[in-house]
Amino acid sequence: MNMIEFRNVSKVYEDNTAALRNINLTIKKGEFVFLVGPSGSGKTTFIKLLIKEISVTTGNIFIAGRNICNLKVSRIPQLRRNIGYIFQDFKLLPNKTVFENIAFALEVIGKPGYVIKVQVPQVLKLVGLFSKMNSFPHQLSGGEQQRVSIARAFVNRPPILLADEPTGNIDPVTSDGIMKLLSRINLIGTTVAMATHDRSIVNSMRRRVVELEEGEIIRDQKRGVYGV
Amino acid sequence: MIFRPKYFFGETFSNLKRNFLMFFTAITTVAITLFMVGFFLVIVYDIQGILGSIKSQVEVAVYLKDNITDELRVYLENEIKSWDEISEVKYISKEQALENFKGEYEGSDILKEIQGNPLPASFELRLESPEKVDLVALRFIDKDGNYIEGVDDVIYGQSYVQKLFSIVAIVGTIAFLIIAVLLLATVVLIFNTIRLSIHARRKEIEVMKLVGATNWFVRIPFLFEGFFEGFVGSLISVIFLFILSNYFLIKGERAVVDTMHIKDLAIVGSNNVILYIYLGLVAVGGLIGIISSAFALKRYLEV
């Protein structure tokens, strides 16, 4: 089953810079895909289109068979609840504890308190931060903060997880831990798409690699490496 | 969307605690600006009240000739009573005029000098519409420019009455303009303060939107906060106004009233209107808070 499908998708920004040109791509359920390419090649645009933070200029995007391009604005929250999103800069709220940061994602979608009390500790165990539940983000290392951000993205068990340079602000050793975590999440059936610059991660993981350059796909390789 | 008061109130008050400085700024802004608006309203209302009560005391004294017959006097009295501008006619006989005079100058040497009764009888007229005092005075003059039969003299404070009316009109207009400008400044200041406090939390809003919060879900705690800031701020301004008008203005006015011997003067706080001013300020405060939040949020919700 196709989880994500891009059909003839182009994105031109208001200042006439083309971020994506005529992209055709399918990602199957349970796949793990790296999006690689230099800065400005369209990786972030690719991810932002999927959560409708921005809209396509032409073409169509299907998620689980549904065209999201003609989605009403009022249905966007529903779309985003099915997609976990991990940011390079974590985007944790500094004045909330680890627990609250994750609980927040559940409160926002209307989950009742007793569900939150069960699910948040569960996901914190998964990312190995159960003991830091009551810490504030500034008391954690970069790697730990990114794990909180992953926990927040995954706590609702979305079928799709998107990551935009999740290891961009983290040292290599810690990055390995993050990748192991994403692999585990992928193993239980979650479709993962990750934009990255990190050559060594891509080379060691040996997953599908889609390379973008100036908004076009120049390579789509199963079990690929970063550069040819 | 499911409405969950516990979440929204909890969110509002934990934000209150965590963003204390921002709340403090917003609340003091509301308190100070609305205090200025309220202070002006009270002062203006007060001045209008004083001028109004002086206005209502405008009297016309019609002095009668000593040789007037009873028939003519009764005829005149009934005639005056039938005029629309008149609210009250009081006849003061020669004897009563002397009594009044004696009462006012009790113990004075003047009394010893009086022989017989030199004072005339008179009508004291109170007017329904004090602005028409000129018209009323003219009715006592015939087409040749003399007083009508039986009337010796008509007295009212011509120049002072006219001045008073133009002062009332000018004060009213200026006050209205000042209050309008102050109110506008208040709205702009409160709006900017609330916008700053929302701007400081744009990241939070962005994250909420990206994890799938609906616009209303994001909006409601901010609207609560806006209302709370406006409400508390205006309450503080009302408390200060209350203290100011009750302990300073009234005392000051009493002193003025006592030294000037003005009777029945309207005094601040002696009227429900002041209460309406207070209630109005609180309502305006809460409303400005909510509306400012709603408008300030608009651009941050477009994620």
C-alpha distance from A116 to closest chain B C-alpha (Å): 13
- Domain match, B16 and B111 both: no
Which pLDDT tens digit goes with each residue over A23-33? 999 999 999 99
- Domain match, B49 and B171 both: yes
DSSP chain B: ----HHHHHHHHHHHHHHTHHHHHHHHHHHHHHHHHHHHHHHHHHHHHHHHHHHHTT-EEEEEEPTT--HHHHHHHHHHHHTSTTEEEEEEE-HHHHHHHHHHHTTT-THHHH--S--PPPEEEEEESSGGGHHHHHHTTB-TTSSBPTTEEEEE--HHHHHHHHHHHHHHHHHHHHHHHHHHHHHHHHHHHHHHHHHHTTHHHHHHHHHTT--HHHHHHHHHHHHHHHHHHHHHHHHHHHHHHIIIIIHHHHHHHHHHHT-TT---TTSSHHHHHHHHHHHHHHHHHHHHHHHHHHGGGG--
C-alpha distance from B186 to closest chain A C-alpha (Å): 31
- A49, A5 in Cβ contact below 8 A? no
- Domain match, B50 and B73 both: no
Q: What is the CA radius of gyration of chain B?
A: 31
Asked whether residue A194 is domain-assigned, the answer is: no
Structure tokens belonging to residue A141: 């290392």
Residues of B with CB under 8 A from a CB of A: 1-2, 4, 7, 18-19, 203-204, 206-214, 217, 303
C-alpha distance from A102 to closest chain B C-alpha (Å): 10
Query: Average of pLDDT values for B197-211?
Result: 87
Mean pLDDT of all residues belonging to chain A: 92
Query: Chain B contacts of A161, Cβ < 8 Å?
Result: none
C-alpha distance from A73 to closest chain B C-alpha (Å): 10
- Domain match, B237 and B94 both: no
Nearest CB among A80, A93, A107 relative to B210 is that of A80
Q: H or E stretch including A84?
A: strand A83-86
Which pLDDT tens digit goes with each residue over B220-249? 888 988 899 899 999 999 999 988 887 777
Query: Average of pLDDT values for B280-303?
Result: 90
Q: Are A152 and B211 a contacting pair at CB < 8 A?
A: yes
A74, closest residue in chain B (CA to CA): B214
Question: Would the CA dihedral through A69, A71, A76, A78 be positive or negative?
Answer: negative
- Domain match, B212 and B276 both: yes
* ipTM surpasses cut 0.95: no
Q: Which domain holds residue A12?
A: 1-81+202-228
Q: Is the pLDDT of residue B264 over 60?
A: no
Q: At what angle do helices B215-244 and B5-18 cross, to 10 degrees?
A: 60
Q: Which domain holds residue B223?
A: 5-54+163-301
Query: Average of pLDDT values for B60-71?
Result: 86
A78, closest residue in chain B (CA to CA): B212
Amino acid at B10: G
Which pLDDT tens digit goes with each residue over A91-115? 998 888 999 999 989 988 888 889 9
Q: Is the pLDDT of residue A20 over 80?
A: yes
Nearest to A220 by CA among A68, A79, A25: A25
Question: For the domain that residue B125 is a member of, what is the CATH number?
Answer: 3.30.70.3040
Q: Are A81 and B211 a contacting pair at CB < 8 A?
A: yes
Mean pLDDT of all residues belonging to chain B: 82
Asked whether residue A136 is domain-assigned, the answer is: no
3-class DSSP assignment, residue A157: coil
Residue B183 confidence (pLDDT): 86
Query: Average of pLDDT values for A128-136?
Result: 94
Please give the span between the terminal C-alpha atoms of chain A, in angstroms, as a whole number.
29
Last residue of a domain, one of B155, B188, B214: B155
- A11, A61 in Cβ contact below 8 A? no
Residue A35 confidence (pLDDT): 95
Structure tokens belonging to residue A178: 């993050």
Which pLDDT tens digit goes with each residue over B46-55? 777 777 777 6
Which pLDDT tens digit goes with each residue over B135-171? 888 888 888 878 888 888 888 766 666 777 787 778 7
Cβ neighbors of A181 (< 8 A, separation 6 or more) are: A126, A127, A147, A150
Which pLDDT band holds residue B3 (cuts at 50, 70, 90)?
Answer: low
Rounded CA-CA distance B201/B222 in Å is: 10
- B135, B124 in Cβ contact below 8 A? no
Q: Are strands A32-36 and A191-195 parallel, antiparallel or unpaired?
A: parallel
- Domain match, B217 and B94 both: no
Triad B10, B13, B17: Cα angle to 5°? 135
Residue B257 confidence (pLDDT): 67
Asked whether residue A118 is domain-assigned, the answer is: no
Nearest to A83 by CA among A152, A10, A33: A152
- A156, A105 in Cβ contact below 8 A? yes
Triad A217, A189, A105: Cα angle to 5°? 90
Asked whether residue A17 is domain-assigned, the answer is: yes
3-class DSSP assignment, residue A54: coil
How many domains does chain A contain in total?
Answer: 1
Nearest CB among A74, A110, A153 relative to B2 is that of A110
Last residue of a domain, one of B155, B179, B204: B155
Last residue of a domain, one of B107, B132, B155: B155
Q: Is the pLDDT of residue A67 over 70?
A: yes
Q: Are strands B59-64 and A216-221 parallel, antiparallel or unpaired?
A: unpaired
Query: Average of pLDDT values for B114-134?
Result: 81
Counts for chain A of helices (H) and strands (E), in that order? 7, 10
- Domain match, B150 and B63 both: yes
Q: Are B211 and A109 a contacting pair at CB < 8 A?
A: yes
Question: For the domain that residue A31 is a member of, what is the CATH number?
Answer: 3.40.50.300
Q: Are A53 and B210 a contacting pair at CB < 8 A?
A: yes
How many domains does chain B contain in total?
Answer: 2
3-class DSSP assignment, residue A126: helix
